[in-house]
Amino acid sequence: MKKFLVLGILFALPITAYLFFASGKNNFAKLPVLTENVKDVSEFQTNSKEQISFKDHISVVAFFGSNLEDIKGNTFNLDKKILEKYYEFDDFQFVILLPEEAREETTAFVDEFKKISETSFWKIVYASQEEIQEVFDSFDTPHKLDKNVHTPYVFIVDKELKLRGRDDDEDYGKLYGYDSRDVAELSNKMNDDVKVILAEYRLALKRNNPDSKK
């Protein structure tokens, strides 16, 4: 019985993984590149001793501004509909850009979410409002940051510092960012696109390293 159980698990796991990634609308197609040469954040200070960079990571990037109290609902939506599904995937990270003046508020903000989220996976970087604006401008999107360097839209940046999204979205044409206020958009469009880009990199890894088990 144990032998059949082990064989059943070994058989089911690859199929489950395939169905997980294949359930995206775009299946194994590449997620379109919308902007090249996104500015990196590797020179910015962080909330830990770890250096944080977009390079060699698949990053969900948020510009949450200086008033964290106002974006708790957005963060909850994003965490439950997207982040908690992917935290433990290799090279996946959630990067939050905050202005220096938000440092004190950050600790209470993170502590509150520890009750419901894996906040240990959150990567937080601090910079001046001008520096954050420079990073945002390098994304080259139609969206804007408000006076608190905040936007409800979150973005997908790949390992080569390229902004990914949709170039033929049925609602927007080009979809640069995903509205963290909109649960349906996160559940459907963003979830689908994160699956696609993760599958894309894993297939590339398999081609380049046939013996890799990741």
Q: Tens of pLDDT along 139-179?
A: 999 999 999 999 999 999 999 999 999 999 999 999 999 99
Distance from C-alpha of 105 to C-alpha of 92, rounded to nearest angstrom: 25
> Which CATH architecture fits 2-208?
3-Layer(aba) Sandwich (3.40)
Residue pair 25/192 in contact by the 8 Å Cβ criterion: yes
Q: Name the pairing type of β-strands 166-169 and 173-175.
A: antiparallel
Residue pair 63/29 in contact by the 8 Å Cβ criterion: no
Tokens representing residue 205 in the block: 């890894």
* Predicted local confidence at residue 212, as pLDDT: 53
* Predicted local confidence at residue 24, as pLDDT: 46
Position 29 confidence tier, pLDDT thresholds 50, 70, 90: confident
Residue appearing with tokens 């992917």: 86
Q: Tens of pLDDT along 41-78?
A: 999 999 888 899 999 999 999 999 999 999 999 999 99
Q: How many CB atoms lie within 10 A of CB 210?
A: 7
Q: Name the pairing type of β-strands 45-46 and 33-35.
A: unpaired
Closest to 137 measured CA to CA, from 181, 77, 97, 79: 97
* Predicted local confidence at residue 8, as pLDDT: 54
The mean pLDDT value for 79-91 works out to 92
Residue pair 86/78 in contact by the 8 Å Cβ criterion: no
Closest to 96 measured CA to CA, from 145, 63, 58: 63
Higher pLDDT, 33 or 5: 33
Tokens representing residue 2 in the block: 């144990």
Closest to 196 measured CA to CA, from 138, 156, 140: 156
Position 205 confidence tier, pLDDT thresholds 50, 70, 90: confident
Listed by start position, the domains of the chain span: 2-208
* Predicted local confidence at residue 48, as pLDDT: 86
- Strand-pairing partners, residue 45, are 126
